[in-house]
Structures are given as structure tokens and as C-alpha cells.
Amino acid sequence: MKKILITGATGQIGTELTMKLRQLYGSDNVIATNIRKHEDNPIVNGDPFELLDVRDYSRFFELATKYNIDTIIHLAAFLSATAEKKPLLAWDLNMGGLLNGLEVARELNCQFFTPSSIGAFGPSTEKNNTPQDTIQRPNTMYGINKVAGELLCDYYYNKYGVDTRGLRFPGLISSVALPGGGTTDYAVHIYYEALMNRSYTSYLKSDTFMDMMYMPDAINSIIKLMEANPDQLKHRNAYNVSAMSFSPEMIANAIKKHIPDFEIHYEIDEKRQSIADSWPNSIDSTCATEEWGFHSVYDLDQMTQDMIIKVKKKLNL
């Protein structure tokens, strides 16, 4: 990774990843792109930023050529709940954008990263300690996009030798940029509401378990995978990675250790509940650890402590 182009750079992952990559590789070597310029986002001013709708192949190719890009980190996509509301648009953006990114990578011989997700599993998948290689029959548009995406990346690697790499991310929790349109978003919003209002109403049932990871671990895992020796990567486009598995009740209890009068209430959103119910309770990340040394640092309590400090500061509380 010497000259990197990031799509969806003002999103939840992109914002922190862009900041970290600029520290590591130099600001001029990390070109942030997004369909809109969010003026309040810390990455859009000063350092290279370009508007890019990833469905526009010519613009994608033009920017990659202009900056002499050797690495594409493709993050622009709809998350699960939005994709379920707008399935055709999700197909267009999630698949069309990915295909364009892969074509640019093939044309210009770039290394390529795109995230998959726990959403690539479905109701017929083993729910606990979900193996690396298992049944993948998701019943959401997002999940269908993710499985097709994993396969498409495999295809570009096998057929054209593009150095594609990817991770099946769990829900990501972060304090810098908010997530949007995901099923796991509650695990971010709960901290803001706990600090502002001492109360949070969960749209998922109290005992809904899903995998999660704190953003610093997610960012480090992307960089570690991208820098790993390619000879070690047998499952290169779809590594299970997780740091913790918890339910709304468990995260509420972790928050109560810091904010004792915090209360959680439940008002279930059937649509997001059914998405969550179709996903694993916990996935097995052993393969990522064995093939390229994946590890995470933060557990639920360490993450909660850090989130409370950072979100409190952000909200000036």
C-alpha cells in the first residue's frame, strides 16, 4: 500500500481508516472519496478528497489514474436495514460499485480490499461459533450482495490475479463517525443515548446476540490483512473476524457500571429483528488468526470504558 484510494471514506469505517492510513502512509498518499462532501467530517478538508459515485466507472478510473493509485479500499455500500428498504438501489450500488472497483483494480493492477459481513450468513447457517467454511444462504438483499461480493472477489483473484482481500466484519462500534442503516447500529447509539438521556429504547430484543468489534481493532485488522504475505492467505476474501458477542441486555449492563441510573427499554422493530435473527450469535475467527495473525484487543468492558470517555468528550458533557 503506497498510494491508496478509499471509497465511502466519510462513512463509519472510512473516516477512522482514512485518518489512520494518513498517519501511517502520509496524507498525500491517501485519497479519500465519497459521493458527497460532508463538510463536518474530519477527513474532507486539507488532504486529498474527491467526489466519487462508485457507480460511475469512468470517474472511478479517472481518479485512480490521476493519483497513480496502487491500492483500492472499497467501502461505499448500503448496510443491511437500508438495503432491505431499497433492494434494487442496494443491488445497483453494492454490486455495481464493487464491480467497478474490481475492474479498475484489474486495469491498473491495484491491490483491493472490500469488507464482507456476518450478514453473509443466513438462517440455515450454524448459529454458534459459526465456522469459516459453512452454509451461506442469506435471506436479505445485503447478505446476497455480500456473498456475491465474496465470490466476485475470488473470481477476480483466480481469473485475473487481482490481489483481492476481505474480512467478514461483525457490527462495528465507534466514536468518530456514526453508522447508518445497519442492524447492529444500536450498539453505537446506546452510548450516545446513555450519556445524553440516561435511557435507550432498543429496537432488538434483550437476548439478541450478535458479533461485534471496536473500531480500533477493525482498522488494525484491515491494515494487518493488507500487509500480510499473500502466500499465507487461503481464504483471502472472506475471513471471519470477531472480538465479542453480546446482546442489548449485556451492553446495557456494561454501561450501568459507569452510569448506574441508565435504563434500557425495548420497542422491537420486526424488520431489523428478523435480520438480526437470521445472523449468527457468534462466529469463529480461528482461521484469520492462523493465516495472518488476526487478534483483537478490546472486549465489551474495555470498549465501554473507552466509548464513554470519547463520546462524553465529543458531546461536551
Tell me if 243 contacts ligand SER by CB under 6 A: no
Per-residue interface string for the shown chain with ligand SER, residues 156-175, x marking contact by CB under 6 A: -------------x-x----
Q: Quick check: is 191 catalytic? A: no
Rounded to a whole number of angstroms, the minimum distance from the CB of residue 167 to ligand SER is: 10
Contact range with ligand SER by CB under 6 A, out of 40-48, 112-120, 147-155, 300-308: 112-120
Question: Of 29-37, 111-119, 196-204, 248-256, which part binds ligand SER (CB under 6 A)?
Answer: 111-119
Among residue numbers 53 through 92, which ones bind ligand SER (CB under 6 A)?
Answer: 79-80
Nearest to 310 by CA among 168, 159, 191: 191
Which of 142, 157 has the CB closer to ligand SER? Answer: 142
User: Among the candidate windows 117-125, 156-164, 194-202, 282-290, which touches ligand SER by CB under 6 A?
Assistant: 117-125
Instruction: Kindly state the smallest distance separating residue 155's Cβ from ligand SER, in Å.
Output: 22
What is the C-alpha separation between 72 and 266, in angstroms, rounded? 41
Residue 119 in the binding site for ligand SER (CB under 6 A) = yes
Contact predicate 116/146, CB 8 Å? yes
Q: Are 34 and 9 in contact (CB under 8 A)?
A: yes
Distance (Å, whole) CA 120 – CA 170: 10
Residue 128, classed as helix, strand or coil, is coil
Taking CA 297 as the corner, what is the angle to CA 292 and CA 298, rounded to the nearest 5 degrees? 135
Per CB under 6 A, the list member of 7, 10, 114, 117 interacting with ligand SER is 117
Q: Under the criterion CB under 6 A, does residue 184 sit at the interface with ligand SER?
A: yes
Counting Cα atoms < 13 Å in the Cβ hemisphere of 244 gives: 22
**Total residues interacting with ligand SER, rule: CB under 6 A:** 11
The distance of Cα 243 from the centroid of its chain, to the nearest Å, equals: 13
Q: Please identify the residue of the shown chain whose CB is closest to the bound ligand SER.
A: 182
Question: Quick one: cell of 242?
Answer: 470477531
User: What residues contact 286, with CB distance under 8 A and at least 6 apart?
Assistant: 132
Of the listed pieces 24-32, 177-185, 197-205, 282-290, which binds ligand SER according to CB under 6 A? 177-185
Q: What is the DSSP string of 27-71?
A: GGGEEEEESS--TTSTTSSSS-EEE--TT-HHHHHHHHHHTT-SE
| 143 is a contact residue toward ligand SER (CB under 6 A) | no
Instruction: Write down the least CB distance from residue 95 to ligand SER, Å.
Output: 16
User: Residue 17 CB, nearest distance to ligand SER (Å)?
Assistant: 15
- d(CA 222, CA 167) in angstroms, rounded, equals 8
Active-site entry in 142, 156, 186, 200:
142
Q: Give the catalytic positions in this structure.
A: 142
- For binding to ligand SER (CB under 6 A), which residues are involved? 79-80, 117-119, 142, 169, 171, 182-184
